[in-house]
Amino acid sequence: MKKLPTLFVSLGLFTLAGCGSTPSPSSAHYIDPNGQRGIVNVGKINYQDFDSAAHNLVQSLINTNVIRTKADGKPALLSISRIINETDQQFDTDSLVSNIRIQLLQTGKIQTITTFGLGDVQDPLAKQVADKNAFVANSSSATPVPDYTLTGKILMDKTSAGDVKQSAYTFYMTLTDVSTGTGVWEDKAPIVKQGTQSSIGF
Amino acid sequence: MNKFISLFCAGALALTVVGCATVNTIEPADQRTHPNLVPDKRIITNSHLNSIAYASQVTESKIGDLLHVQVMLQNMTVAARNVDYRFQWYDGAGMAVGTPVEHTAFLEGGQTIPIGETATSPQAVTWQLTLAESVAQSPDLNNGAPVRSGR
């Protein structure tokens, strides 16, 4: 019986200490950008969704092992083609594409062309320098030709049942071998979110 | 007798609250695969998590020059649960390679699923898997807060 107060004190201390030291959501604080504490919105693509979709697509691409390096062992050249956003949300498709580029570059199998692309090139200064060098050297082409192109589409489907809302975002990607003009890899990364209110965490 | 009825009712109520969604599985009886099983070292700080996502098998393979790991996760409870996981890769000098991305695995009661990842760098020679109970669980346990699903 005498042990009872000690037990309550221990329990109180445990409660005060808590199992974690997560700050109150109301006060501004940093979170792990790769972790599980980000805000999740049902009707919106969140930061972590782009990360997750890009990661899953890159995993699918490297698991199929379709990318062939050049004959001299150098990495194949990739250029980003059109990425279509068919959702009701406005965002820069680079949120997805830059994640994919970063991870593919790390594999050592691919290098991306930054001086060639649809519309504005990624690095206009590098293109200007390459053009100037080609002109000085009296060379016909300053732009490297890609071995592969990456194209994609982001689709959305929203539905609800009573108070529960559901949003499905599907990220489609296709890799085309430019030498044959055929799609050598294609996959999708679906993200489905369901709930009645926004929350923190997956 | 009254005690038995009370216990039975309490058990039934607990099951109703937790939710019960177990699966039946069927697979070929003969051994057709020859996985490269890898001995592992585990640091278990949450025994409950270990019962809802028990790593029953760890295998490795190579895709070109990239290391691939696959872990079979088994939910040994009768309740459907979500588990967050991430793989961190390390090079030969023990330095972290790349940035890990956290994923959510969805495990029905009694279900075994494979989770895995391929290193994005040929420098990666080893890995560490971190598992955590999802902050958001299945809808009935989550008061309607969003449940996120991916692959």
The interface pTM score, or ipTM, of the predicted complex is: 0.77
pLDDT attached to residue B146: 47
Residue type, A3: K
Nearest to B121 among A106, A163, A192 (CB): A106
Whether B22 maps to a domain, the answer reads no
A contact residues 30-59, partner B, Cβ 8 Å cutoff: 34-37, 40-42, 48, 51-53, 55-56, 58-59
What one-character-per-residue DSSP string does A60-76 give? Answer: HHHHHT-----TTSPPE
- pTM for the complete prediction? 0.81
> What is the span of the domain harbouring residue B98?
36-138
* Per-residue model confidence as pLDDT tens digits over B4-60: 565 555 555 555 545 567 999 999 999 899 999 999 999 999 999 999 999 999 999
Question: What CATH number does the domain containing B60 carry?
Answer: 2.60.40.3230
pLDDT attached to residue A143: 76
Whether B19 maps to a domain, the answer reads no
Closest C-alpha among B37, B116, B25, B30 to residue B75:
B25
pLDDT attached to residue A202: 47
Closest C-alpha among B107, B111, B140 to residue B16:
B140
Whether B7 maps to a domain, the answer reads no
Whether B123 maps to a domain, the answer reads yes
* Per-residue model confidence as pLDDT tens digits over A77-127: 999 999 999 999 999 988 899 999 999 999 999 999 888 877 778 888 888
How far off is chain B from A29, nearest CA to CA, in Å? Answer: 18
Domain total of chain B:
1
- A67: pLDDT strictly greater than 60: yes
Nearest to B150 among A52, A65, A108 (CB): A52
Closest C-alpha among B77, B71, B84, B67 to residue B122:
B67
Domain layout of chain A by residue ranges: 46-169
pLDDT attached to residue B151: 45
Task: Please list every residue in chain B whose beta carbon sits closer than 8 Å to the beta carbon of residue A171.
Answer: none
Give CA–CA dist B141/B52, Å, rounded.
15
Whether B4 maps to a domain, the answer reads no
Whether B112 maps to a domain, the answer reads yes
